[in-house]
């Protein structure tokens, strides 16, 4: 996604400390539109999570800098053992493991930072060795996100269908 550098300034900041982050680092997108006349905004915190991409010539011919797609909302970050986890991170891991369903829930059972990721996911009816599948998911979460987890696998269609990403964060 190109940013039109003559129309505004985009920065990425740490959502907690509000300190500027470098190119490629993931954080909250902060924008300063340069052409707004009626409603000037200076360093507006969008609440969206993304990152700026390293500059390189683009096949489309534009020379403007580029940004990643928006990965999620700052409000949906689960902080686990010093790492920030978004629902999409978990979703991608689940989608990469055959035998799991699409639905999942991230259980937030205490305020603030968690020491491990508590997760409920579904397994397909043909799965015989549910324990092995559960281990596989736990290992993938550790490998890709660097967090310890506590996974519970339940039969397909046991979890309520989520209409929005936010509904996959369950405060218990």
**Among 23, 36, 62, 146, which residue sits at the site for Zn ion (rule: CB under 5 A)?**
62
Smallest gap from Cβ 63 to Zn ion, in A, equals 9
Smallest gap from Cβ 9 to Zn ion, in A, equals 19
Q: Which is it for strands 83-85 and 100-108: parallel, antiparallel or unpaired?
A: unpaired
Distance separating alpha carbons of residues 144 and 152, to the nearest angstrom: 19
Smallest gap from Cβ 68 to Zn ion, in A, equals 14
Q: With left for phi above 0 and alpha for psi between -120 and 50, is residue 99 left, alpha or beta?
A: left
Span of 51-59, 96-104, 106-114, 148-156 interacting with Zn ion by CB under 5 A? 51-59
Kindly tell me which of 67 and 127 has the beta carbon lying closer to Zn ion.
67
Using rule CB under 5 A, residue 5 touches Zn ion: no
Distance separating alpha carbons of residues 87 and 74, to the nearest angstrom: 11
Using rule CB under 5 A, residue 60 touches Zn ion: yes
Span of 33-41, 54-62, 76-84, 162-170 interacting with Zn ion by CB under 5 A? 54-62
Using rule CB under 5 A, residue 95 touches Zn ion: no
Using rule CB under 5 A, residue 166 touches Zn ion: no
Q: Which is it for strands 100-108 and 117-123: parallel, antiparallel or unpaired?
A: antiparallel
Smallest gap from Cβ 146 to Zn ion, in A, equals 32
Using rule CB under 5 A, residue 58 touches Zn ion: yes
Distance separating alpha carbons of residues 2 and 95, to the nearest angstrom: 28
Smallest gap from Cβ 62 to Zn ion, in A, equals 4
The per-residue DSSP string of 103-150 comes to EEEEEE-SSS-BSSEEEEEEE-TT-S-HHHHHHHHHHHHHHHH---EE
- The residue count for binding Zn ion (CB under 5 A) is 3
Q: What are phi and psi of 106, to 5 degrees?
A: -100, 120
Per CB under 5 A, residues contacting Zn ion are: 58, 60, 62
């Amino acid at each position: 996604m190109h940013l039109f550098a003559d129309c505004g300034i985009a920065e990425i900041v740490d959502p907690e400390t509000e300190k500027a982050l470098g190119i490629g680092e993931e954080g909250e997108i902060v924008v300063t539109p340069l052409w707004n006349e009626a409603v000037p905004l200076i360093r507006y915190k969008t609440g969206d999570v993304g990152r700026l991409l390293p500059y390189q010539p683009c096949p489309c011919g534009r020379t403007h800098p580029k940004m990643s797609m928006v990965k999620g909302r700052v409000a949906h970050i689960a902080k686990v053992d010093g790492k920030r986890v978004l629902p999409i991170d978990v979703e991608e891991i689940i989608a990469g493991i055959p035998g799991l369903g699409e639905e999942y829930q991230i259980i937030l059972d205490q305020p603030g930072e968690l020491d491990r990721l508590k997760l409920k996911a579904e397994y397909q009816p043909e799965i015989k060795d549910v324990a092995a599948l559960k281990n596989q998911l736990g290992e993938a979460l550790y490998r890709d996100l660097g967090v310890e987890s506590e996974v519970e696998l339940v039969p397909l269609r046991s979890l309520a269908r989520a209409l929005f990403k936010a509904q996959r964060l369950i405060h218990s």
